């Protein structure tokens, strides 16, 4: 297996005896890889079937994120000692290591090496999101937990409590003013994952409808919990 070459992005005229159905099928599914409980990542698994021909040396698999327009490509070579045995037969290839995100929209292509014009398979794929029970339980970005708060108007403090969080997960908590985005009001507080009591107290100066609390796991692209205690003039 090698990283893909830019030269394979240009297609060549296929030999006249090479049918467009040389690539027979492509199947996509999501696999989960875990280092420990509740610490898993998602990977796109691609299975392809090739009607082998001596002019084909392998397959290129590309995964394009529709949202970010970033792509990952790999090439899977067919060993030269397989050529004589496999001529005219089906060859199956599987690649498991495209790391993906929950809810990601992908465009996946399968091409021959060399890249023959018209000999290609394409498919759209949606990775399971946090509404999927297995993803919600095991992918850190889906761990939102629960947030509760208690306002002491005399002392002008807000006590925030975080519960139902994944074991060992650090949490960020902050006060912010909700405009187009939530802008910080004072420092962001980190609650270490090893703390048995996950609570923090904030001092506020003005009782404003836009004053909100945000909490989220200290993980890239994590879901955020938000509450605005005074939103409706409470």
Q: Is CATH 2.60.40.2160 correct for 2-136?
A: yes
pLDDT at 115: 86
Which CATH topology does 143-227 take?
Immunoglobulin-like (2.60.40)
pLDDT at 84: 45
Ranges of each domain in the chain: 2-136, 143-227
Question: What pLDDT tens digit does each residue of the chain (234 aa) get?
Answer: 444 455 456 788 877 777 767 788 889 999 998 887 667 889 999 988 888 777 788 888 999 999 888 888 888 877 655 544 555 577 788 787 789 988 999 999 998 888 888 888 899 999 999 889 888 888 877 877 788 999 999 999 999 998 877 767 788 999 999 988 889 998 899 998 887 678 999 999 888 899 999 998 887 777 788 999 988 766
Compute the distance between CA of residue 124 and CA of residue 114 in angstroms, rounded to an integer. 23
Q: Is 36 exposed, middle or buried (0-12, 13-18, 19+ CB in 10 A)?
A: exposed
pLDDT at 164: 77
pLDDT at 83: 47
pLDDT at 188: 93
Question: What Rg do the C-alpha atoms of the chain give, in angstroms?
Answer: 26
> Is it true that 2-136 and 143-227 share their CATH fold?
yes
Q: Which residues 6+ apart lie within 8 Å of 163 measured at CB?
A: 145, 146, 147, 148, 198
pLDDT at 81: 55
pTM for the full model?
0.64
């Amino acid at each position: 297996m090698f990283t893909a070459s830019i030269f394979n992005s240009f297609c060549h005229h296929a030999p006249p005896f090479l049918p467009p159905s040389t690539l027979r099928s492509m199947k996509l599914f999501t696999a989960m890889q875990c280092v420990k409980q509740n610490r898993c990542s998602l990977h796109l698994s691609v299975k392809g079937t090739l009607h082998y021909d001596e002019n084909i040396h392998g397959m290129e698999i590309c995964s394009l994120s529709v949202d970010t327009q970033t792509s990952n490509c790999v090439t899977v070579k067919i060993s030269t000692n397989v050529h004589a045995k496999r001529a005219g037969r089906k060859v199956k290839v599987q690649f498991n290591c495209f790391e993906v995100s929950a809810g990601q929209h992908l465009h996946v292509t399968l091409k021959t090496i060399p890249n023959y014009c018209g000999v290609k398979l394409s498919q759209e794929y949606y990775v399971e999101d946090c509404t999927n029970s297995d993803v919600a339980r095991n992918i850190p970005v889906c761990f939102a937990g629960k947030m509760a708060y208690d306002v002491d108007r005399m002392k002008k403090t807000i006590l925030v409590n975080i519960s139902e969080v994944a074991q060992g997960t650090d949490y960020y908590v902050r006060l912010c003013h909700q405009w187009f985005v939530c802008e910080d009001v004072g420092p962001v507080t980190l609650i270490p994952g090893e703390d048995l009591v996950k609570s923090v107290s904030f001092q506020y100066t003005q009782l404003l409808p836009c004053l909100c609390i945000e909490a989220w796991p200290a993980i890239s692209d994590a879901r955020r919990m938000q509450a605005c205690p005074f939103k409706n003039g409470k």
